[in-house]
Amino acid sequence: MNPDLEVSPSEVTKLNLTCKYHKLFFFPDGISLSFPKIIETGSPFKIIANWLINHTSL
């Protein structure tokens, strides 16, 4: 969507939703969580949450 609120045509993309050294868990209703296998005290880390609404919308 541009600043004039015009919607651009969609583009086919391929998502890479994995991170090195992360473990991925799938939950009901299309929810997935990815977080590090090991978390060290005092070190920053990422948690990735996704929700697959339907087969074409994440």
* pLDDT tens profile 3-53: 787 877 777 766 666 677 888 899 988 899 988 999 999 999 888 888 888
Classify residue 9: in a domain, yes or no.
Answer: no
Structure tokens at 42: 């005092």
Domains held by the chain: number? 1
- The answer to whether the beta carbons of residues 26 and 51 sit under 8 Å apart is no
Q: Which amino acid is at 13?
A: T
Q: Please state the pTM of the whole predicted model.
A: 0.56
In this structure, is residue 10 part of a structural domain?
Answer: no
Give the range of the structural domain holding residue 23, as residue numbers without chain letter. 16-58
Residue 34 lies in a domain: yes
Per the domain annotation, does 11 fall within a domain?
no
Max Cα–Cα distance, the chain, nearest Å:
46
Domain assignment of residue 20, yes or no: yes
Distance CA 32, CA 18 (A): 11
Q: Is residue 52 part of a domain?
A: yes
